[in-house]
Chain A
Amino acid sequence: MKVPTMAELFAAGKPPEILFWVGCAGSFDDRAKKITKAFVQILNKAGVSFAVLGTEESCTGDPAKRAGNEFLFQMQAMTNIEVLNGYEVKKVVTACPHCFNTIKNEYPGLGGNYEVVHHTQFLRQLLEEGKISLEGGKYKGKRITYHDPCYLGRGNQVYEAPRELIRKLDAELVEMKSCKQRGLCCGAGGAQMFKEPEKGDKDINIARTEQAIDVQPEIIAAACPFCNTMMTDGVKNKEKEASIAVMDIAELIASAENL
């Protein structure tokens, strides 16, 4: 797969227009790697001038910050900012709402100022510019419900871009009981992804999956690698994996385009 790195392009004197920030999940998590690849396929198809940091990328520090470790967060942030500023990065796109939120909102105060967009916003823009088309009708009439990632939705008021893309697939978008501003968390945020939940009646991802199952979707669309994991686990727990798929918006578009 053709994935240019920032170091290569910069050395060749051809810095790209956009940095694709892959994130830890997108780099290491087997499920999330598929999302990363799907997104890169779309970028290549659309002829976008982009690069990744590759081995120079490091965690944004989001899980450390939400866990209360401001030191570790700022260490990560300042190291990353040094790398990004070194490459004179102007625009960052990422498929992870946590990376998106952190770089967009929390890096400027530490000297990192970039235009940061989430991949659903970027894909919508590609669609508007006619660089990708969503013909073929692979998802025509399919019931798709969209799960709002907290750090994309409430955190940054991005509700429409992913929904527009789903509608453009000619799919039937159905909303869960809690959606948009009142969307229910998948249970992974605030560093919960990396720890056992506190004692309770039920896991949050199960509660959210139940809300999804209630609207009888064929596909649960996600826009965050962590939500994806949580919802996939939830669907497995409910033994619905044969009838309900959990897919990232980028995967929906890549497969609609037969990439």
Chain B
Amino acid sequence: MLYLPNILFIILLVAGIGYFARNVARLRKNIKLGKEVDVSDNPAQRWKNMAKIALGQTKMVVRPIAGALHVIVYLGFIIINIEVLEIIIDGIFGTHRIFAPLGAIYDVLIASFEILAFLVIVAVMLFWIRRNIIRLRRFIKPEMKGWPKTDANLILYIEVVLMVLFLTMNGADYRLQQMDVAHYTQAGVFPISQFIGSFFDGMSVSSLILVERTAWWLHIAGILFFLNYLYFSKHLHILLAFPNTYFGRLKPQGQFRNLDAVTQEVKLMLDPSADPFAAPAEGEEEAEPEKFGASDVMDLSWVQLLSAYTCTECGRCTDECPANQTGKKLSPRKIMMDTRDRLEAVGKNIAANKGQFVADGKQLLNDYITPEELWACTTCNACVQACPVSIDPLSIIMDMRQYLVMEQSAAPTDLNNMMGNLENNGAPWPFNQMDRLNWAEGK
């Protein structure tokens, strides 16, 4: 009986981490449905980007209010996790504040955890107000109805509950320390929770221990719950922001990818000595012609799919999008959310059909993202610039446009006219190439 709490704790810990590992495996599997892409170049620059953008939050603070609040919650999350390490060790071995021998350092640590926890509560409340009372434009767009809205608020509630439990646990612990209760050795400085302590005035030692233990258990259980909530939530960004900024774009934003498969065909077309009807060389199978562009998630690269899971639906992309600002249907955030939702559906389909995708009569194009959205894009890169975690929604829009034009010949009529001109006259307008220098005539 003596070791029952320790055993219970270990079971809880293993179950929590085990289920999370299962989720991570699912995530990896789904991301790997994307096409291979070479991102092995320039690792030094990639590490630098990750350090600056994800760790250093440089793009978050472009918007100072949201940025500052986010930095508080982010620091709180990272730093308070040191305390979680202590909680885990205490839980396994039944110790009380195992890091206490650190002495003065320990006091500083606990004090900073407490201050951060308090600031996190304040920041999260402000976040909630921005979302639900002020109702900032980017939080009430059509794609933010239903689960995305609930999800966003749930995250805020969970964070407040975790911080309150943390402070309650400390407050009760501090009281017990002051009362020289055995096991509760004096350790730590409690600048915030000492005030909570006054709620416990007149409580018996056993009630205080009950409060302390309840808060302690609920806090660690809550953290394990939150860990497992990530997979079902936009909150995955706290983990995926790091790989996503590492694998993010290094080339100038204006540079779009040249399709190698097209290059080969165009070279063949322009080569006067090439015989288009030539039989394939000996031993060379005639390869299935590659599909151009993307109509479903499997046509996208795994980096694009990783980005879809990384998106935390902050909506900065959509807020900066000129098409969205002028009332068009396009929302770069929705492009990412649709990609993720479709990927989840495909992943479930594969899991339900013994590892094989069985056509479900749906695809990313039309069933999730409409051509009207795709054609509203001006390729201005405002969304790419705005994303605090290096997501490139424009690359998905372009891949889908390529499918529409090259596989389906489904460009808007105006664009077909433009391309016809380009093909015939070398200009998007119906002017003769021989007139190209006419501007120089006269003065």
**Lowest 10 A-B CB distances belong to which pairs?**
A155-B254, A201-B327, A68-B401, A190-B379, A58-B426, A105-B255, A200-B327, A195-B414, A185-B380, A68-B405
B437 touches A150 (CB 8 A): no
Which residues of chain B are within 8 angstroms of A5 by Cβ–Cβ distance?
Answer: 437
What are 16 A-B interface contacts by the 8 Å CB criterion? Answer: A5-B437, A29-B429, A54-B436, A55-B434, A58-B427, A63-B418, A69-B402, A75-B266, A109-B258, A182-B62, A190-B380, A194-B418, A198-B376, A200-B326, A204-B322, A204-B378
- Other than the given A70-B402, A78-B267, A78-B270, 9 more pairs (CB < 8 A) read A29-B429, A69-B419, A71-B262, A72-B419, A79-B270, A106-B255, A106-B258, A150-B379, A155-B253
Q: List residues of chain A with CB within 8 A of the CB of B378.
A: 150, 185, 187-190, 192, 204
B-to-A contact residues, CB < 8 Å: 62, 251-256, 258-259, 262-263, 265-267, 269-270, 292-293, 320, 322-323, 325-330, 372, 375-382, 384-386, 398, 401-406, 411-412, 414-415, 417-419, 422-423, 426-429, 431, 433-443
Would A101 and B255 count as touching, CB distance under 8 A?
yes
User: Who on chain A is nearest to B397 by CB?
Assistant: A190
- Across the interface, which residues of B come within 8 angstroms of A167, CB to CB? none
Partner of B375, one of A57, A78, A150, A198: A198
Contact of B426 among A3, A76, A109, A155 (CB under 8 A): A76
Please, which residues of chain B bring their CB within 8 A of the CB of A52? Answer: 437, 440
List chain B residues, Cβ under 8 A from A151. Answer: 254
Given the complex of chains A and B, what is the CA–CA distance between A29 and B427 in angstroms?
Answer: 11
A194-B415 contact in complex given A3-B437, A154-B253, A155-B253, C-beta closer than 8 Å: yes
Tell me, in angstroms, the Cα distance from A64 to B439 when the chains sit together.
24
Q: Which residues of A have CB within 8 Å of B443?
A: 1
A55 touches B270 (CB 8 A): no
**Whole-angstrom distance between the alpha carbons of A191 and B329 in the complex?**
18
Which residues does chain B contribute within 8 Å of A197, judged by CB atoms?
A: 326, 328, 376
The residue of chain B having its C-beta at the shortest distance from the C-beta of A181 within the complex is B385
Is A65 located at the chain interface by the 8 A CB criterion? yes
| Closest CB in chain B relative to A113 CB, distance in Å | 14
A-B contact count (CB 8 A): 220
A165 to chain B, nearest CB (A): 21
- Asked if residues B328 and A67 are in contact (CB atoms below 8 Å), the reply is no
Q: Bound state CA distance, A200 and B328, in angstroms?
A: 4
Chain A residues within CB distance 8 Å of chain B: 1, 3, 5, 22, 24, 26-29, 33, 36-37, 40, 52, 54-55, 57-59, 61, 63-72, 74-76, 78-79, 101, 105-106, 109-110, 150-151, 154-157, 181-185, 187-204, 206-208
CA distance A27 to B439 in the complex (A): 6
Assuming A54-B437, A190-B379, is B406 touching A70 (CB within 8 A)? yes
Residues of B within 8 A of A29 (CB): 429
Q: Which residues of A contact B251 (CB under 8 A)?
A: 105
Residues of chain B within 8 A (CB-CB) of A71 are: 262, 265-266, 406
Contact check: which of B325, B414, B422 meets A64 at CB < 8 Å? Answer: B422
Given A74-B266, A106-B258, CB of A69 within 8 Å of CB of B326:
no
Taken together as a complex, chains A and B put the C-alpha atoms of A204 and B323 apart, in Å, by 7
Q: Do B252 and A78 have beta carbons less than 8 Å apart? A: no
A27/B427 in contact, CB under 8 A: yes
Whether A207 lies near B258 (C-beta < 8 A) is no
Knowing A55-B433, A67-B401 are in contact, say whether A1-B440 is a contact too (CB < 8 A).
yes
Which residue in chain A gives the minimum CB-CB distance to B434? Answer: A55
Centre residue among B398, B414, B436 by max chain A CB count within 10 A: B436
